[in-house]
Homo-oligomer: A and B are copies of this chain.
């Protein structure tokens, strides 16, 4: 794909009658060049239609103004708006986004990290805290600047921009308990290698244990994050002898799948069983009944992650943000338990 004979700095230099250094300066640090010279240079650039060659620039300056983001899946609406916000903030700073996805596979994640670094990413956005030692080693050994999001850990907070999944799940569960529910089930995302799913589970479990008074988490069923698996898990749970009055779900997609299956099975939601999702993606307010869920500050999270990563890359001071707030959204899929 030879970029055919694009004009180079030297061409511009010749035309403007100045040295290549002046042009480079005019481009990267205009204040260092006299107005008059700058004008000549700008005109020459205009006439020739010059654009800096990326490779040359990257090689000489050893930075690409590109950062990477590696997310489990783009199809999951949960990440879409966050990544969009992330990208928008970067874009304003003249930084571009390399995007890759892992399909929730840790090995794939390492592969993508390597690929993005090899493709020149100056820094990385990663989702979630849990990853194999090999991946941690790579990040540490190569000193890859990175920000971790969609979760929050108090220790080493200059790396995390996110919310506390455990706490959010705890709070949601408390609200459900307050409504009178005692018999819980959980349709969880696959927890292996996914700290968000695990933390949500723990949050729910803890809230129930703390509450006492006979409240119990009767069943936990794992499902991949897709509608149909949510449905299957729902059916599995409802066919057990110990029927819950409420089913908490690892995210809204699982909850929506459960809801659809409930309709097929003729099980009324929320009259016979309540359903609670997580993430508050668009679908949650559209389903019927709409899904009670936990709203996650996706956009703010994406923006904050971008700001933090940019700060790290520019070597500036990095403020450690507090965990972002989540909010329980009570909607029609959740009601008091049947007497």
A residues at B contact (CB < 8 Å): 1-4, 6, 49, 51-60, 62-66, 73-75, 77, 80-81, 83-84, 87-88, 91, 94, 96-101, 112, 114-120, 122-123, 141-143, 145, 227, 253, 256, 259-260, 263, 282-283, 285-288, 313, 315
Question: What's the Cα separation between A183 and B256 when bound, in Å?
Answer: 33
Tell me whether B65 and A55 are in contact (CB under 8 A).
no
Indicate whether A53 sits within 8 Å of B63 (C-beta atoms), given known contacts A74-B87, A91-B100.
no
Establish whether residues B313 and A286, one from each chain, have CB atoms under 8 Å apart when the complex forms: no
Smallest Cβ distance from A302 to chain B, in angstroms?
10
Alpha-carbon gap, A261 to B3, bound state (A): 52
Known A54-B120, A74-B74, A83-B74; judge A91-B64 contact (CB<8 A): no
A55 and B51 contacting across the interface, CB-CB below 8 Å? no
**29 A-B pairs, CB-CB below 8 angstroms?**
A1-B62, A1-B123, A1-B313, A1-B315, A2-B62, A6-B142, A51-B117, A51-B118, A55-B55, A55-B56, A55-B60, A55-B64, A55-B120, A58-B59, A64-B119, A66-B119, A74-B80, A74-B83, A74-B84, A74-B87, A75-B77, A87-B99, A94-B115, A97-B100, A227-B282, A259-B286, A260-B286, A286-B287, A287-B287
User: Knowing A55-B120, A96-B115 touch, does A101 contact B73 (C-beta < 8 A)?
Assistant: no
Task: Give A151 to B309 CA distance when docked, in angstroms.
Answer: 36
**Cα–Cα distance between A315 and B1 once the two chains are bound (Å):** 7
CB distance from A89 to the nearest CB of B (A): 12
Whether B63 pairs with A54 at a CB distance below 8 angstroms is no
Rounded to whole Å, the gap between the CB of A160 and the closest CB of chain B is 20
Given contacts A97-B98, A100-B97, whether A59 and B56 have CB atoms under 8 Å apart is: yes
B residues less than 8 Å from A288 (CB atoms)? 263, 287-288
Known: A287-B286, A288-B288. A118 touches B52 (CB 8 A): yes
Residues of B with C-beta under 8 A to A49:
141-142
Q: A59-B58, A288-B288 are in contact. Are A66 and B98 (CB under 8 A)?
A: yes
> Which of A74, A83, A313 has the most chain B CB atoms closer than 10 A to its own CB?
A74
4 smallest CB-CB distances across A and B, nearest first, come from: A288-B288, A55-B58, A55-B59, A54-B120
A122 to B54 CA separation, bound complex (whole angstroms): 11
Asked if A101 contacts B81 (CB within 8 A), the reply is no
What is the CB-to-nearest-CB distance from A107 to chain B, in angstroms, rounded to a whole number? Answer: 13
Q: Which chain B residue has the least Cβ–Cβ distance from A88?
A: B101
Given A58-B54, A80-B80, A100-B87: A119 and B65 within 8 A (CB)? yes
Look across to chain B and name the residue whose beta carbon is closest to the beta carbon of A289.
B288
Apart from A1-B145, A259-B286, A260-B285, what 11 extra A-B contacts exist at CB < 8 Å?
A2-B62, A49-B142, A54-B120, A64-B120, A66-B119, A74-B81, A75-B80, A77-B77, A96-B115, A96-B116, A287-B287
* A55, B120: Cα distance in complex, Å: 7
Q: Which B residues lie within 8 Å of A313 (CB)?
A: 1
CA distance A114 to B63 in the complex (A): 19
